A and B are shown apart, each in its own frame.
Chain A
Amino acid sequence: MQIISQYMQQNHRECDELFVHVEASASDGNWADTASHFESFNKLLEQHLNMEEQVLFPAFETETGHTQGPTAVMRMEHEQIRGLIAELKTCYENQDSQRFLGLSESLMMLIQQHNMKEEQMLYPMTDQALSDTAAVLADMQALGEA
């Protein structure tokens, strides 16, 4: 069963769809919409990153005994993503559309590359390694709803 993979991939797609609205409104110069779309996107993304950092990665690390392996790299990439998000926020506050769109392109690519690694390797590995995937999924969902 690929419970974790399916759930997390779906979560990635939802983040992507929200981000598309952020880019589209910034491209149209509609900063009020950009701000509201950005907040929704950031909320969902942060929720996703937290589910991984607080539930999925620790469960995987406990099960495999690897704390400096793939999960350490994913945590580092989460920080890169958060850094870019903070920069994008400054851009829309200053209504700097040129820099915003340049940075959003980078964020899109960075997130996609990160997602690819998770979807192709890390999630299938967690599905395989975790003894109780249903419990881990329930914990992640609980965190998401909190």
Chain B
Amino acid sequence: MKTDGLQLQHMPPLKVPFRFFITAPLFGILAALLLLGSGTDGWSTRWLPEIVAATHLLTLGFMATIMLGALFQVLPVLSGYSIPGQHWLAPTVQLMVSGGALALGGAFISADHGWQLTAIILLSGGFSLFIGALGLHLIRLGSTDGNSIFAIRLAALSLLVSLSLGIIMLGAYMGIQIPHILANNGMTHLRFALLGWVLLLIMGVSYQIIPMFHVTPNYPKNISRILVSAIFMALTVLMLGRSYWLILTGGCVLILAAGIYALISFYLLRQRKRKIIDYTIRFWQLGLSCLLLALLGYAISLSGIKEPSAVNELQWGILMIPGFAISIMMGVLYKIAPFLSWLHLQQACLKQPMDILKLPTMHDLLPVKYGRIQFCLHCLTLALLLNALQLPVIRPLAAITLAADFIWLEIVLLKTLHIYRKSMQAIS
């Protein structure tokens, strides 16, 4: 029986995930300011530089940063093996991805080659380092029947596809001669990013944490794996297929599989035994509702009933990015940020057990009412963003609310960190 190297107590230092969590909302604020700066005329199509830049600040600067931080935290705990070289790797990856997201934002706004090249170098370097370490880690885990690990593997593969296509497109944008078949892959890049990397990762995480934290029944084992495989296969078919029927089949499978996942999740959350007030649940329900609406929009466009307009495309993006992905990430952050802080404080008390009485609780570290404020603010932001597409006059207000949403998240995370540090000083 091989147990060498397996360390069940392995937990990275708090600064490893928090470095990512604290930086991420700053990109959300920056995206909101960019939208505010674009005024009331600038939201007509997703191809406008400000919209493309704001989208990437949200997806790379906020979402990818949170996801990387969470993976650096959770993989060693889930697998029992530390990520190789995580002490230098985590800050390097964070600096490169954050710097890359910033440079990419600058590249879309200015169309400057310097920004573009910097973005290519930093993003490809940062993600390659991470995927390399993650890949080694996932290979080291060997064969596992865990559906979470299975989904995370396919999510990582989707990230690789999406990232490669993104970098190729940026190269073409810079004027590098790239064959048309490689350079003209915007939809594949977008699908693998949002329905591959983001959706599959959220699915993998939810298989683990929804039953655990909310005391619900488990996700059905076989169906969970089939859904993940179906989504990945559909994405691959849509990437390679050129015929109408292949695109229709791939799209239908994708919509069905993602839809079934959302409905099962809703059902499980309704079945939860733990009924105390919990805004993480509300965020899950909000995020899954947005996913279902986005899938409905995709189904309508696939059916040919209505050709998607520029506004529909933007609505789809709002439903998928701040609606689905960011809602769920905020909900999970409100759970794991106070828990990780508390766990580190508790471990510090192991040598002086009496100090445990002085420790703040999870609710002291992050009060429930802060979650309520965040949830209301986020709902308001989504409602304003969706309506602002038709009502240009409320666009500045929507952008300001979006900024407030991320500013509040940043304040709350910093407060949690402050209480953690103060308590740690009191112990030592």
Chain A residues closer than 8 Å to B356, beta-carbon distance? 83, 87
List B contacts of A16 (CB < 8 A).
215, 273
Smallest distance from the beta carbon of A67 to chain B beta carbons, Å?
Answer: 11
Q: Is the CB of B215 within 8 A of A102?
A: no
Instruction: Report the bound CA distance from A132 to B105 in whole Å.
Output: 61
Q: Given A20-B273, A64-B3, A69-B6, are A116 and B363 neighbors across the interface (CB < 8 Å)?
A: no
Q: Which residue of A lies closest to B7 (CB)?
A: A73
CB of A43 within 8 Å of the partner chain: no
Residues of B within 8 A of A24 (CB): 275-276
Q: Are B6 and A80 in contact (CB under 8 A)?
A: no
Q: Are A98 and B363 in contact (CB under 8 A)?
A: yes
Is A39 on the interface with B (CB-CB < 8 A)?
A: no
Query: Per-residue CB proximity of A1-36 to B under 8 Å, as 1/0?
Result: 000000000000000110110011001000000000
Least Cβ distance of B363 to chain A in Å?
A: 4
Please give, as numbers and ranges, the residues of chain A lying within 8 Å of B274 by CB-CB distance.
20, 23, 108
The verdict on A146 contacting chain B, using a C-beta distance below 8 Å, is no
B89 close to chain A: CB less than 8 A: no
Give the interface residue-count category, chain B.
20 to 34
- Given A16-B215, A83-B353, A121-B80, also A106-B362 (CB < 8 A): yes
Nearest residue in B to A109 (C-beta to C-beta)?
B339
Contact between chains at B3 and A125 (CB < 8 Å): yes
- The reply to whether A70 and B276 contact each other, CB–CB distance below 8 Å, is no
Report the bound CA distance from A80 to B356 in whole Å. Answer: 10
List of B residues within 8 angstroms of A102 by Cβ: 360-364
Instruction: Closest A residue to B361 by CB, please name it.
Output: A102
Contact with B along A101-132 (1 / 0, CB 8 A): 11101101110110111001110010011000
Contact A105–B361 (Cβ < 8 Å): yes
Are B1 and A125 interface neighbours, CB within 8 A?
yes
Which residues of chain A (59-102) have a CB below 8 Å from chain B?
A: 63-64, 66, 69-70, 73-74, 76-77, 80, 83, 87, 98-99, 101-102
Interchain CB contact under 8 A, A70 and B273? no
Tell me how far the C-beta of A78 lies from the nearest C-beta in chain B, rounded to whole angstroms: 12
User: Known contacts being A110-B343, A117-B77, is A105 close to B363, with CB within 8 Å?
Assistant: yes
Given the known inter-chain contacts A112-B213, A117-B80, A129-B1, please indicate yes or no for A105 contacting B362, CB distance below 8 A.
yes
A110 contact set on B, CB distance < 8 A: 343, 346
Contact B361 A115 (CB under 8 A): no
Whether the pair A63, B213 counts as a contact (CB closer than 8 A) is: no
Say yes or no: B8 contacts A106, CB within 8 Å: no
Residues B3 and A116 in contact, CB atoms below 8 Å apart: no
B375 at the interface (CB under 8 A from A): no
B394 within 8 A of A: no
Does residue B39 face the partner (Cβ distance < 8 Å to A)?
no
Chain A residue nearest to B273 in the complex (CB): A20
A105 to B364 CA separation, bound complex (whole angstroms): 11
Chain B nearest CB, measured from A103 CB (Å): 5
Interface presence of B86 (CB below 8 A): no
Considering only CB atoms, which chain A residue lies closest to B340 in the complex?
A: A109
Q: Answer whether residue B146 sits at the interface, using C-beta atoms and an 8 A cutoff.
A: yes
Choice from B8, B350, B364 contacting A121 with Cβ under 8 Å: B8
Tell yes or no: B177 within 8 A of A by CB: no
Q: Residue B357 at the A interface, CB < 8 A?
A: yes
By the criterion CB–CB under 8 Å, are B361 and A76 in contact? no
* Residue of B6, B7, B350 with highest tally of chain A CB at under 10 A: B6
A100 to chain B, nearest CB (A): 9
Question: For B286, what are the chain A residues with a Cβ–Cβ distance below 8 Å?
Answer: none
Name the B residues within 8 Å of A109 (CB-CB).
213, 335, 339, 342-343, 362
Inter-chain CA distance A101–B115, complex, in Å, is 50
Least Cβ–Cβ distance between B16 and chain A, in angstroms: 16
Q: Is B78 an interface residue (CB 8 A)?
A: yes
The reply to whether A70 and B1 form a contact with Cβ atoms under 8 Å apart is: no
**Quick one: which of B9, B80, B208, B339 contacts A106, CB cutoff 8 A?**
B339
Given A106-B339, A121-B6, 7 more A-B residue pairs with CB atoms under 8 Å apart are A23-B274, A27-B276, A73-B9, A74-B8, A110-B343, A112-B212, A125-B3
Can you name 6 A-B residue pairings with CB atoms under 8 Å?
Answer: A23-B274, A76-B9, A116-B77, A117-B77, A121-B6, A129-B1
For the complex of A and B, the 9 pairs showing the least CB-CB separation, nearest first, are A102-B361, A102-B363, A129-B1, A73-B9, A73-B8, A112-B212, A20-B273, A105-B362, A109-B339
